């Protein structure tokens, strides 16, 4: 049984999603149904994580054909961790988004949940598949499910979704061209096979372009600065139940995919060729960080502020991956985990704020502390994390990134990281100032305490405190999960 865990981690949410679309639209029933199945999916992923820890690498041959013939799944310790992270974020997102179902989903609930589960399955597939073309299919399912989940929010979500569709499809097509260029030169699609072949070839134009197209495609999916245009609006106008799931995972999985393209496919050749690429990519990342942070500074809508922060965070990880230094890679991957959790908290806080004060503009935040202390506390926790205060995980990931950048002499990246921390300080100062020190007393009589807001605030706070655990245990986590997969 245990050798089937890896396939079950993908198939289980998929099957549940397909069955969910046949369920009757009864809210309580569906809530319990979804919760139970996501909990079970969590157990499966956790089992996979334990298995990867004991066996270091789990492989699975689909339909019984050995790898180059059939499709192969492969889990390293890190992808085991990501797999569990996906299930866990999905469970929390499910619980956090449940309150918004009534207003935003209505009678379409079974179909909404079906897409939710399909998205989880596609994310799992993205993280576990070891076949370059299968990854494209997974990329497309996750995008299609995301389009549906964002667009049903209505209003401005439609135009945002359309932009997302155009840019997402172009990104996926670039990825497909990259895979095609690799296929015409090597004749295989299996990632391990590709790595083996590429290790001994002369590095010619077709390979450079293959790498280039794969990277451009993934940059579009990651929403790094000049290619970020789709992200802020899409995430801002998405229904809350969607953004809680999509925002923490979508761009991070693109980062993970880029890591795999760089080191699993091109691992053998990239070391000799990375310097010229690195020069450009780290510069791009530094610009991306600064641009994302300044975009965020200009916003007044809490959700949009956080959506723009995602653009900045993508820059951190991009830069870390291309630093040409193992510490940079470790930092980038640790930041990936930390950022997924932090973004989850951010978007939970958005829902909690909306429940507690009835709006999410900066103006609404006035007196949040009095109205929902737990939500305000969660906001502080995640602010500390994003600014990079020890002992939060954000501090350790940034510290690792900065040591990596200094070791490889990329001072512009260091400057961008420090400036971004400063920018985050300003952003969260503006938010927290209003939340804790309102300029005028709010009208107490008009306002009733929201129980849901408090519950969500408590949930956000719990996960936020998990960031401290992540920070205190950062070295253990890096040793256990990240250093084994980063080539030294």
Partner 1 sequence: MSLIQSGFIYWFFVVLLMIGMYGAVGKDNLVKKLIGLSIFQTAIILFYVSIGFKNGPATIPILQGGHGEPIKDIAAASYFNPVPHVLMLTAIVVGVATVGVALAVIQRLYAEYGTLEENEILDKIANS
Partner 2 sequence: MKRLALVMSILLGLLLLKGTADFPQFGDPNSPASAGHPNSSEDSHVSVRYITEAYGETHVPNLVSAILADYRNFDTMFETTVVFTAGTAIFLILRLPLGVLARRRSKAEMPRTLPPLARDPILEMACRVLFPPIQLFGLYVLTHGHYSPGGGFQAGVILGASFILLAIGFDLRGTLSRLPESVYNPFTALGVAFYIGIGLLCLVLGGNFLDYEALRQVVPLSSQEIRSQGILLVECGVTVTVGSVIFAIYTNLVSRGLHREGL
Would you count residue 276 as binding partner 2 (CB under 8 A)? Answer: no
Instruction: Point out which span in 74-82, 185-193, 311-319, 329-337 binds partner 2 (CB under 8 A).
Output: 185-193
Alpha carbon distance 130, 314 (integer Å): 23
Instruction: Point out which span in 34-42, 140-148, 370-378, 451-459 binds partner 1 (CB under 8 A).
Output: 140-148
The interface with partner 2 within residues 39-68 (CB under 8 A) comprises 60-65, 67-68
Burial 6-26 (b: 16+ CB within 10 A, else e): bbbbbebbbebbeebeebeee
- Positive or negative CA dihedral for 195, 197, 199, 204? negative
Would you count residue 257 as binding partner 2 (CB under 8 A)? Answer: no
Alpha carbon distance 333, 165 (integer Å): 27
Closest CA to 375 of 464, 291, 247: 464
DSSP string, 11-45: HHHHHHHHHHTTS---HHHHHHHHHHHHHHHHHHH
Using DSSP, how many helices (H) and how many strands (E) does the chain show?
Answer: 20, 2
| Tokens, residue 226 | 């000049």
Would you count residue 328 as binding partner 1 (CB under 8 A)? Answer: no
CB of 167 to partner 1, least distance (A): 9
The interface with partner 2 within residues 111-130 (CB under 8 A) comprises 111-112, 114-115, 118, 121-122, 125
Instruction: Pick one of 33, 183, 277, 287: the residue that binds partner 1 (CB under 8 A).
Output: 183
Give how far the C-alpha of residue 448 lies from the chain's centroid of Cα atoms, to the nearest Å.
35
Alpha carbon distance 255, 405 (integer Å): 18
Q: What are the beta bridge partners of residue 61? A: 72
- By beta-carbon proximity to partner 2, the closer residue of 152 and 256 is 152
The interface with partner 1 within residues 105-134 (CB under 8 A) comprises 133
| Tokens, residue 59 | 């492989």
Rounded to the nearest 10°, the torsion over CA 139, 145, 147, 150 is: -130
- By beta-carbon proximity to partner 2, the closer residue of 3 and 271 is 3
Q: Is residue 33 within 8 Å of residue 89, measured between CB atoms?
A: no
Would you count residue 370 as binding partner 2 (CB under 8 A)? Answer: no
- Residue 440 interaction partner, one of partner 2, partner 1, none, beta carbon < 5-8 Å per kind: none
- Residue 176 interaction partner, one of partner 1, partner 2, none, beta carbon < 5-8 Å per kind: partner 1
Alpha carbon distance 127, 253 (integer Å): 7
CB of 367 to partner 1, least distance (A): 29
Instruction: Point out which span in 153-161, 285-293, 339-347, 382-390 binds partner 1 (CB under 8 A).
Output: 153-161
Instruction: Pick one of 177, 229, 399, 406: the residue that binds partner 2 (CB under 8 A).
Output: 177
- By beta-carbon proximity to partner 1, the closer residue of 86 and 151 is 151
- Residue 169 interaction partner, one of partner 2, partner 1, none, beta carbon < 5-8 Å per kind: partner 1
Alpha carbon distance 369, 380 (integer Å): 11
Would you count residue 145 as binding partner 2 (CB under 8 A)? Answer: yes
| String of contacts with partner 2 for each residue 384-403, x by CB under 8 A | --------------------
- Residue 205 interaction partner, one of partner 1, partner 2, none, beta carbon < 5-8 Å per kind: partner 2
Instruction: Pick one of 23, 43, 46, 170: the residue that binds partner 1 (CB under 8 A).
Output: 170
Would you count residue 216 as binding partner 1 (CB under 8 A)? Answer: no
Does residue 391 have a cis peptide bond before it, meaning omega lies within 30 degrees of 0? yes
- Percent of residues in the chain assigned helix, strand, coil, to nearest 5: 80, 5, 15
Closest CA to 322 of 370, 275, 287: 275
Instruction: Point out which span in 142-150, 300-308, 432-440, 453-461 binds partner 2 (CB under 8 A).
Output: 142-150
Instruction: Pick one of 184, 199, 279, 418: the residue that binds partner 1 (CB under 8 A).
Output: 184
DSSP one-letter code for 301:
B
Instruction: List strand residue ranges (DSSP E) for 145-301, in order.
Output: none
CB atoms closer than 10 angstroms to residue 222: 28
| Tokens, residue 106 | 């209505």
- By beta-carbon proximity to partner 2, the closer residue of 51 and 421 is 51
Closest CA to 313 of 472, 475, 229, 424: 424
Instruction: Pick one of 19, 177, 380, 407: the residue that binds partner 1 (CB under 8 A).
Output: 177
Closest CA to 145 of 18, 270, 237, 263: 18
Q: Is residue 346 within 8 Å of residue 456, measured between CB atoms?
A: no
- By beta-carbon proximity to partner 2, the closer residue of 70 and 409 is 70
Q: Is residue 58 within 8 Å of residue 485, measured between CB atoms?
A: no
The interface with partner 2 within residues 211-250 (CB under 8 A) comprises 212
Would you count residue 67 as binding partner 1 (CB under 8 A)? Answer: no
- Give phi and psi for 61, each to the nearest 5: -100, 110
Q: What are the beta bridge partners of residue 376? A: none
Phi-psi region of 76 (alpha: psi -120 to 50; beta: other; left: phi over 0): beta
Would you count residue 158 as binding partner 1 (CB under 8 A)? Answer: yes
Instruction: Point out which span in 198-206, 287-295, 327-335, 406-414 binds partner 2 (CB under 8 A).
Output: 198-206
Give the interface with partner 1 as residue ranges (CB under 8 A): 133, 136-137, 140, 143-144, 147-148, 151, 154-156, 158-159, 161-162, 165-166, 169-170, 173, 176-177, 180, 183-184, 189
Give the interface with partner 2 as residue ranges (CB under 8 A): 4, 7, 11, 14-15, 18-19, 21-22, 60-65, 67-71, 105-108, 111-112, 114-115, 118, 121-122, 125, 131, 133-134, 137-138, 140-141, 144-145, 147-149, 151-152, 154, 177, 181, 183-189, 193, 196-197, 199-201, 204-206, 209-210, 212
């Amino acid at each position: 049984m245990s050798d089937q865990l890896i396939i079950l981690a993908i198939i289980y949410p998929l099957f549940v999603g397909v069955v969910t679309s046949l369920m009757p639209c009864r809210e309580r029933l569906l809530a319990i149904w979804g919760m139970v199945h996501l909990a079970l999916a969590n157990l499966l992923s956790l089992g996979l994580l334990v298995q990867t820890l004991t066996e270091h690498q789990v492989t699975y041959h689909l339909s019984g054909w050995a790898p180059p013939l059939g499709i192969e799944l492969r889990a390293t310790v890190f992808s085991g961790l990501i797999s569990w992270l996906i299930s866990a974020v999905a469970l929390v997102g499910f619980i956090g988004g449940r309150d918004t179902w009534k207003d935003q989903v209505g009678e379409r609930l079974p179909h909404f949940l079906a897409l939710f589960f399909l998205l989880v399955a596609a994310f799992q597939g993205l993280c576990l598949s070891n076949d370059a073309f299968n990854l494209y299919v997974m990329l497309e399912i996750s995008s299609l499910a995301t389009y549906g989940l964002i667009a049903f929010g209505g209003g401005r979500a439609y135009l945002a979704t359309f932009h997302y569709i155009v840019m997402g499809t172009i990104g996926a097509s670039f990825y497909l061209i990259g895979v095609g260029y690799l296929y015409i030169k090597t004749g295989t699609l299996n990632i391990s096979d590709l790595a083996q072949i590429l290790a001994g070839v002369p590095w010619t134009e077709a390979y450079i372009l293959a790498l280039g197209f794969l990277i451009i495609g993934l940059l579009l999916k990651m929403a790094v600065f000049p290619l970020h245009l789709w992200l802020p609006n899409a995430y801002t106008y998405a229904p809350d139940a969607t953004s809680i799931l999509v925002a923490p995972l979508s761009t991070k999985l693109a980062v993970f995919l880029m890591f795999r393209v760089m080191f699993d496919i091109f691992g053998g050749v990239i070391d000799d060729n990375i310097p010229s690429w690195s020069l450009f990519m780290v510069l791009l990342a530094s610009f991306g960080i600064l641009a994302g942070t300044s975009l965020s500074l200009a916003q007044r809508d809490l959700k949009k502020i956080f959506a723009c922060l995602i653009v900045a965070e993508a820059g951190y990880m991009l830069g870390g991956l291309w630093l040409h230094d193992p510490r940079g890679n470790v930092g980038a991957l640790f930041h990936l985990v930390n950022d997924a959790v932090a973004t989850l908290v951010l978007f939970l806080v958005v829902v909690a704020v909306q429940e507690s004060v009835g709006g999410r503009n900066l103006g609404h935040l006035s007196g949040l502390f009095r109205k929902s202390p737990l939500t305000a506390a969660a906001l502080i926790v995640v602010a500390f994390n994003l600014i990079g205060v020890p002992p939060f995980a954000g501090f350790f990931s940034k510290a690792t990134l900065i040591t990596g950048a200094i070791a490889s002499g990329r001072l512009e990246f260091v400057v961008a990281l420090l400036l971004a921390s400063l920018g985050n300080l300003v952003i969260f100062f503006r938010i927290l100032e209003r939340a804790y020190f309102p300029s005028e007393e709010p009208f107490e009589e008009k306002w009733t305490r929201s129980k849901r807001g408090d519950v969500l605030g408590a949930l956000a706070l719990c996960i936020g405190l998990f960031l401290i655990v992540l920070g205190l245990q950062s070295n253990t986590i890096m040793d256990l999960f990240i250093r084994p997969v980063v080539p030294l």
